[in-house]
A = this chain, B = another copy of it.
Amino acid sequence: MRTKIFCLPVLLAALALPAAEGMFPMNGMTPAIAADMKALGCRFDPADLWRPGQKCLAMAVVNLGATGSFVSADGLIITNHHVAFGAVQSLSSPERNYIRDGFLAAGREQEVPAPGYSVRVMTGFENVTQRFRSALRPGLAAEKRRFLVEKISKQLVAAGERTPGNECAVAAFYGGLEFYLATYFKVRDMRVVYVPARSVGEYGGEVDNWMWPRHTGDFSFLRAYVGKDGRPADYSRDNVPFRPLHFFPIARTPLREGDFTLILGYPGTTKRWHTAAEVANEVQAVYPQRIALLERYIGLLEKASQADDGVRIKNAGVLKGLYNSIKNNRGLLAGLEREAVLEQRLRIESELAAWIDAAPGRKKKYGRLLADIGRLAAEEREVAGLGTISGWLTRGCRLLDWALTLNKWGQEKTKKDLEREPGFLDRDMANRMARLPISQRNLDLASDKAVFAFFLEQLLAADNPGIFARLRNEVERAPGRDRGEKIAAFIAALYQGTRLGVLKFKEEMFAADAKAMAASGDPFLALAARIQPDFAALDRRRSAIAGGWLALKPLYVEAMRQARPQALPYPDANRTLRFSYGRVEGYAPRDAVRYAPFTTLAGVLAKHSGEAPFNLNPAYIAAAGGDGRRLHADPGLGDVPVNFLTSNDSTGGNSGSPVLNADGELVGVLFDGNYESLGSDFLYHPAVNRSIHVDMRYVRFVADQVDQAAAVLRELGLER
Closest B residue to A638 by CB, please name it.
Answer: B5
Task: Output the nearest chain B residue to A214 by Cβ-Cβ distance.
Answer: B592
Contacts A8-B637, A630-B5, A638-B11 hold; do A600 and B594 have CB atoms under 8 A apart?
A: no
Q: Given the complex of chains A and B, what is the CA–CA distance between A629 and B625 in angstroms?
A: 51
Question: Could you tell me the distance in whole angstroms from the C-beta of A533 to the nearest C-beta in chain B?
Answer: 47
Among A7, A599, A638, residue most surrounded by chain B Cβ atoms (within 10 Å)? A7
Identify which of B215, B592, B626, B630 contacts A213 (C-beta below 8 A).
B592
- Contact mask for chain A residues 447-473; partner B; CB cutoff 8 A; 1 contact, 0 none: 000000000000000000000000000
Among B4, B213, B592, point to the contact of A595 (Cβ < 8 A). Answer: B592
Among A150-158, A553-561, A601-609, A612-620, which stretch is in contact with chain B? Answer: A601-609
Contact assessment for B5 and A590 in the assembled complex, using a CB-CB cutoff below 8 Å: no
B1 touching A213, Cβ below 8 Å: no
Answer yes or no: A44 CB below 8 A from chain B CBs. Answer: no
Complex Cα gap A633–B6 (Å): 11
A195 interface residue (CB < 8 Å to B)? no
- In the bound assembly, the distance between CA atoms of A2 and B593 in angstroms comes to 25
A301 on the B face (CB < 8 A): no
Contact yes or no, B5 A629, CB < 8 A: yes
**Restricting to A1-24, which residues have a CB under 8 Å from any CB of B?**
1-2, 4-8, 11
Among A6, A602, A636, max chain B CB count under 10 A is at A602
Query: Which 9 interchain pairs have the tightest Cβ spacing?
Result: A591-B603, A213-B592, A592-B596, A592-B599, A594-B594, A1-B625, A5-B639, A591-B599, A213-B591
| Cβ 8 A contact of A603, one of B212, B592, B636 | B592
Which residue in B11, B591, B594 is a CB contact (below 8 Å) of A215?
A: B591
A2 and B8 CA atoms in complex are apart in Å by 33
**Contact call B624/A1, Cβ cutoff below 8 A:** yes
Select one of B2, B11, B212, B600 contacting A7, CB under 8 A.
B600
When distances are taken between beta carbons in the complex, the residues of chain B under 8 Å from A633 are 5
Task: Give the number of copies in the complex.
Answer: 2
Given known pairs A11-B638, A590-B213, the reply for A2 and B596 (CB within 8 Å) is no
Give the residues in chain B near A1, CB-CB below 8 Å: 624-626, 629
Most chain B beta-carbon neighbours within 10 Å: one of A5, A595, A599, A624: A5
- Report if A85 contacts B (CB, 8 A): no
Whole-angstrom distance between the alpha carbons of A213 and B591 in the complex?
Answer: 7
Q: Are A592 and B5 in contact (CB under 8 A)?
A: no
8 Å CB interface, A619-672 against B: 624-626, 629-630, 633, 636-639
CB distance from A588 to the nearest CB of B (A): 9
Contacts A1-B624, A630-B5 given; indicate if A212 touches B592 (C-beta within 8 A).
Answer: yes
SS class, residues of chain A in contact with chain B: loop
Residues of B within 8 A of A626 (CB): 1
Most buried by B among A596, A600, A629, A633: A596
- Which residues on B sit within 8 Å (CB–CB) of A117? none
Using an 8 Å CB-CB cutoff, how does the interface string of A546-557 with B read, 1 for contact, 0 for none?
Answer: 000000000000
Q: Distance (Å) between the CB of A635 and the closest chain B CB?
A: 11
Instruction: Tell me whether A600 and B591 are in contact (CB under 8 A).
Output: yes
User: Among the listed B212, B592, B629, which residue makes an inter-chain contact with A598, where contact means beta carbons less than 8 Å apart?
Assistant: B592
Q: Which residue of B lies closest to A599 (CB)?
A: B592
Residue in B2, B4, B605, B636 whose beta carbon sits within 8 Å of that of A2 in the complex: B605
Question: Which of chain B's residues has its CB closest to A215's CB?
Answer: B591
Chain B proximity of A591: nearest CB distance (Å): 3
Given contacts A6-B638, A213-B593, A593-B595, list 19 more A-B pairs with CB under 8 A.
A1-B626, A1-B629, A5-B629, A5-B633, A6-B602, A7-B602, A7-B638, A8-B636, A11-B638, A213-B591, A213-B592, A591-B599, A591-B603, A591-B606, A592-B597, A592-B598, A592-B599, A592-B603, A593-B593
Q: How far is the CA of A600 from the CA of B11 in the complex (A)?
A: 15
Which residues of chain B come closer than 8 Å to A4, judged between CB atoms?
630
List the B side residues contacting A6 at CB < 8 Å. 602, 638
A213-B593, A595-B593 as given contacts; A639 in contact with B602, CB under 8 Å: no
What CA separation (Å) do A596 and B7 show in the bound complex?
11
Please list 29 pairs of residues, one from A and one from B, whose beta carbons are closer than 8 Å in the complex, sorted by A's number: A1-B626, A1-B629, A2-B602, A4-B630, A5-B638, A5-B639, A7-B600, A7-B602, A7-B637, A7-B638, A7-B639, A8-B636, A8-B637, A8-B638, A11-B638, A212-B592, A213-B590, A213-B592, A213-B593, A591-B599, A591-B600, A592-B595, A592-B598, A592-B600, A592-B603, A593-B596, A594-B594, A594-B595, A594-B596
**CB nearest neighbor in B for A4:** B630
- Among residues of B, the one whose C-beta sits closest to the C-beta of A644 is B592
Residue numbers in B under 8 Å from A638 (CB-CB): 5-8, 11
Q: Which residues of B contact A598 (CB under 8 A)?
A: 592
**Chain B residues positioned under 8 Å from A603 (CB to CB):** 590-592
| Chain A 208-234 interface residues, beta-carbon cutoff 8 Å to B | 212-213, 215
Complex: A596 Cα to B626 Cα, angstroms: 34
Most B Cβ at <10 Å: residue of A5, A591, A625: A591
A592 to B625, CA, bound (A): 20
Specify the chain B residue showing the minimal Cβ separation from A10. B602
How many angstroms from the CA of A4 to the CA of B626 in the assembled complex?
12
Q: In the complex, which residues 528-577 of chain A have their Cβ closer than 8 Å to any Cβ of chain B?
A: none
Are B5 and A602 in contact, CB atoms less than 8 angstroms apart?
Answer: yes
Return A88 CB to nearest CB of chain B, in Å. Answer: 28
Measured CB to CB, the closest approach of chain B to A160, in angstroms, equals 46
Q: Once bound together, how far apart are the Cα atoms of A121 and B449, in whole Å?
A: 74
How far is B5's CA from A603's CA once the two chains are assembled, in angstroms? 12
Residues of B within 8 A of A215 (CB): 591
Residues of B within 8 A of A602 (CB): 2, 5-7, 591
How far is the CB of A407 from the nearest CB of chain B, in Å? Answer: 49
Find chain B residues with CB under 8 A from A636 CB: 8
Please name all residues of chain B whose beta carbon is closer than 8 Å to the beta carbon of A212 when the two chains form the complex: 592
Closest to A597 in B: B592
CB distance from A594 to the nearest CB of B (A): 5
Measured CA separation A594–B590 after assembly (Å): 11
